[in-house]
């Protein structure tokens, strides 16, 4: 598992390095388009490329920092810096949008004729196609590696590509009409889109840092539990998950037969941990609170060799995201909460 984690980290770092290289090329193309056209809208687009480079550098640093081993000061590791990187990116994007709006308002009242619009359009089209390709690459790698910074960068690049398409349409309108106010107005509209993207990233960063429930990851955990379920795992509830970079920390309560020896309880928990880590990109760290079974659990208990059974097995309860996250034991409809807690063997 340690080897898989290191491969995961190297894959993330390699993806960001390639993005940095392409970002430098795209930034050069955008500033070249601004040089030829003199368009404030294209300049706004080019300035955001500087943000892409700055955020990619911070993302690279965050991935390297998150790969550091746990220590006494950071018992859960250093992975949450990845979500700080997402927030940093969102703040820079939002600030860039404000700068663009202020600058564009000034040019709106003092408009100027654009120069070589055709060259500006051609270079902007090239950068839009390149950004869309990079965005798709990053989003795909982010999903494969379960890396929030890569997914955030991917969505950002795809949003940049779409704004560049809008920029091309606006400059095309200027070329047809000669209206000088189109360029600064278009820059303001692009800035508003950019700021919306920044707010979305800031909100995601805050949610992750505050450990908002990641239902997609929890659903994957529940699926692994359901597929690898042992008959001695009578019940699992109060399931919680925290993400720390390439680590997932899972807490849960697990009901096991009351007569098991301590070493048998340990073996069951180890099986549970292995099941959660099977075929996963991120390493799952598991903390389990074990409960002894109650006589009222007999109706959902699948242990066929139990000599203490007080009632027949009725049916197997499916484990779902909804019922595993609840902080109470499961029982069949018709059974009462008091029955479960008073009828102890």
Q: Domain boundary residue among 157, 185, 209?
A: 209
Same domain, 197 and 236: no
Question: Which residue range is the domain that position 195 belongs to?
Answer: 2-209
**Whether residues 117 and 179 fall in one domain:** yes
Q: What is the mean pLDDT of each run of 10 residues along the chain (345 residues)?
A: 54 76 85 82 75 76 73 73 79 79 75 75 86 84 73 76 75 77 75 82 82 80 88 91 80 93 93 84 84 87 88 86 84 56 43
Same domain as 275, residue 190: no
Predicted local distance difference test score (pLDDT) of residue 335: 58
Taking the model in full, what pTM does it have?
A: 0.62
Residues 171 and 230 in one domain: no
**Do residues 169 and 271 share a domain?**
no
192-204: burial string, b at 16+ Cβ within 10 Å, e else: eebbebbebbbeb
Could you tell me the two tokens for 249? Answer: 């920390």
Q: Examine the domain organization and report whether 46 and 168 are in the same domain.
A: yes
> Does 311 lie in the same domain as 279?
yes
Give the chain's domain count.
Answer: 2
CATH code, 110? 1.20.1510.10
Contact 83, 209 (CB under 8 A): yes
Tell me: do 197 and 102 sit in the same domain: yes
> What are the angstrom distances between the C-alpha of 294 and each of 239, 313, 331?
20, 13, 11
Same domain membership, residue 241 and residue 98: no
Domain boundary among 190, 209, 228: 209
């Amino acid at each position: 598992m340690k080897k898989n984690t290191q491969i995961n980290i190297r894959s993330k770092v390699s993806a960001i390095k390639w993005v940095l290289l392409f970002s430098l090329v795209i930034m050069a193309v955008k500033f070249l388009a601004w040089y030829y056209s003199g368009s404030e809208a294209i300049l706004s687009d080019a300035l955001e490329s500087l943000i892409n480079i700055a955020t990619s550098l911070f993302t690279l640093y965050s991935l390297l920092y998150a790969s550091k081993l746990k220590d006494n000061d950071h018992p859960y590791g250093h992975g949450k810096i990845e979500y700080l990187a997402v927030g940093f990116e969102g703040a820079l994007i939002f600030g860039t949008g404000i700068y663009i709006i202020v600058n564009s308002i000034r040019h709106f009242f003092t408009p100027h004729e654009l120069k070589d619009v055709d060259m500006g359009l051609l270079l902007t089209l090239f950068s839009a196609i390149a950004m869309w390709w990079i965005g798709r690459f990053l989003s795909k790698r982010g999903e494969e590696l379960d890396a929030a910074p890569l997914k955030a960068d991917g969505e950002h690049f795809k949003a940049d590509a779409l704004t560049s398409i809008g920029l091309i349409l606006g400059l095309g309108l200027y070329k047809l009409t000669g209206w000088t106010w189109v360029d600064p107005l278009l820059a303001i509209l692009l800035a508003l889109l950019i700021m919306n993207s920044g707010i979305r990233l800031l909100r995601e960063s805050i949610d992750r840092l505050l450990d908002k429930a990641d239902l997609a990851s929890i659903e994957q955990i529940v699926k692994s539990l359901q597929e690898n379920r042992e008959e001695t795992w009578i019940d699992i509830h109060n399931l919680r998950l925290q993400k720390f970079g390439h680590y997932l920390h899972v807490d849960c309560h697990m009901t096991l037969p009351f007569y098991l020896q301590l070493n048998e309880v340990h073996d069951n928990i180890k099986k549970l941990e292995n099941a959660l880590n099977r075929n996963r990109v991120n390493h799952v760290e598991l903390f389990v609170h074990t409960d002894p079974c109650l006589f009222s659990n007999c109706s959902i208990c699948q242990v066929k060799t139990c000599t203490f059974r007080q009632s027949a097995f009725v049916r197997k309860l499916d484990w779902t995201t909804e019922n595993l996250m609840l902080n109470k034991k499961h029982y069949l409809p018709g059974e009462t909460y008091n029955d479960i807690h008073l009828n102890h063997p």
